[in-house]
Amino acid sequence: MLDLGSYIVLLGGIIYFFVFILGLILGSFLNSWMWRVHDNIKILSNSRSMCPHCRYQLRWYENIPLFSWLILRAHCSNCKKPIHWSYPVVELATGLLMMFIVEQHLKLVHFSEWILLRDVCFLTLLIITFVYDLRYKIILSRIIWAGTIIGFLINILALNFSYSSLLLGMAIGGGFFLFQYLVSNGRWIGGGDVRMGVMMGAWLGWQNTIVALFIAYIFGALVGVVLLYFKKADGKTEVPFGTFLAVGTFLAIYYGNNLLNWYLQLLK
Ligand SMILES: [Zn+2]
């Protein structure tokens, strides 16, 4: 017989294991969705998984998240072309981040399936934005508009966020980038960044939108310094702002209030 303590530990382990597996599957789905969108392939008529280079249809054991990449040693078994490293990284990261989200929610005093659903949805959209902007230098506007509407509605209807905070956040987030867009005539940043700023406001409210922008810029500057140091970038390198904004937004969801309180304490 297990005592209650070991039973809870065992149960927790089983829950996290399944959440991790679910995350791997979600990450694998996001990978194939992204390259299909980029290569303009109809998703329903080509539902079987295939190699992005030669369109060879994968056998079941070549389509297991993470493990297939290791077994195939990062090469397609048909055309021998390399499989991009981002595939296993996205799968592993999605699995780990899903575990992180569930852990954050189990810590909450008032567990809400609405916030859990919202956060899984946010994570999905942020992973797409992070990877797509990094690999293809585009922030997908349909993802951003869908995210803006879903986030706004759940925040208002299920979580009682204040309208005014969300609208002000959208104005600050969008306005911050719109200003730069207008001043630089679209040379510094693109329309995708403006739309992403609006979405961040609808997700976070105005205070955490500012926190998210701060995190994104600090993170971007750190990465920039490292790349300049290793001569992987120069002044002309195109900056994937969406990638940095996705990181800032994700961290602001969970740590925004703490960071804000910590900062306000410093001012006292
Ligand atoms: Zn191939």
Q: How far is the CA of 83 from the centre of ligand 1 (A)?
A: 8
Nearest to 90 by CA among 120, 68, 65: 65
216's tokens? 């994104």
- On whether both 86 and 212 belong to a single domain, the answer is no
| Residue type at 24 in one-letter notation | L
- On whether both 121 and 106 belong to a single domain, the answer is no
Q: How far is the CA of 30 from the centre of ligand 1 (A)?
A: 19
- On whether both 266 and 147 belong to a single domain, the answer is yes
Q: Number of folded domains in the chain?
A: 2
Burial of 45-60, coded b for 16+ CB within 10 Å and e otherwise, reads: eeeebbbbeeeeebee
* 145-151-156 Cα angle (round to 5): 130
Q: How far is the CA of 82 from the centre of ligand 1 (A)?
A: 8
Over residues 94-100, mean pLDDT: 97
Residue-level pLDDT at 179: 95
The structure's pTM equals 0.91
Residue-level pLDDT at 123: 97
Q: What is the 3-state secondary structure (H, E, C) of the chain?
A: CCCHHHHHHHHHHHHHHHHHHHHHHHHHHHHHHHHHHHCCCCCCCCCCCECCCCCCECCHHHCCCCHHHHHCCCECCCCCCECCCHHHHHHHHHHHHHHHHHHHHHHCCCCCHHHHHHHHHHHHHHHHHHHHHHHHCCCCHHHHHHHHHHHHHHHHHCCCCCHHHHHHHHHHHHHHHHHHHHHCCCCCCCHHHHHHHHHHHHHHHHHHHHHHHHHHHHHHHHHHHHHHHCCCCCCCCCCCHHHHHHHHHHHHHHHHHHHHHHHHHHHC
Q: How far is the CA of 238 from the centre of ligand 1 (A)?
A: 30
Query: Model confidence at 44, in pLDDT bands (50, 70, 90)?
Result: low
- On whether both 27 and 122 belong to a single domain, the answer is no
Query: Model confidence at 238, in pLDDT bands (50, 70, 90)?
Result: confident
The residue assigned the tokens 């939108």 is 209
- On whether both 26 and 133 belong to a single domain, the answer is no
- On whether both 221 and 244 belong to a single domain, the answer is yes
Query: Model confidence at 237, in pLDDT bands (50, 70, 90)?
Result: confident
Q: How far is the CA of 176 from the centre of ligand 1 (A)?
A: 43
Residue that is last in its domain, among 88, 111, 134? 111
When the pLDDT of each residue in the chain is averaged and rounded to a whole number, the result is 90
Query: Model confidence at 47, in pLDDT bands (50, 70, 90)?
Result: low
Residue that is last in its domain, among 63, 94, 111? 111
258's tokens? 């703490």
More confident residue, 138 or 107: 138
- On whether both 233 and 147 belong to a single domain, the answer is yes
- On whether both 138 and 264 belong to a single domain, the answer is yes
Q: Which residues pair with 75 in a beta bridge?
A: 82
- On whether both 187 and 207 belong to a single domain, the answer is yes
Q: How far is the CA of 51 from the centre of ligand 1 (A)?
A: 5
Q: How far is the CA of 54 from the centre of ligand 1 (A)?
A: 4
- On whether both 249 and 139 belong to a single domain, the answer is yes
- On whether both 55 and 138 belong to a single domain, the answer is no
Q: How far is the CA of 123 from the centre of ligand 1 (A)?
A: 30
The residue assigned the tokens 């609405």 is 114
Residue that is last in its domain, among 111, 132, 152? 111
Q: Report yes or no: 62 and 77 within 8 Å, Cβ to Cβ.
A: yes
- On whether both 200 and 237 belong to a single domain, the answer is yes
Domain coverage including residue 130: 117-268
List, for residues 100-126, the tens digit of each pLDDT value: 999 999 888 778 888 899 999 999 999
Residue-level pLDDT at 43: 61
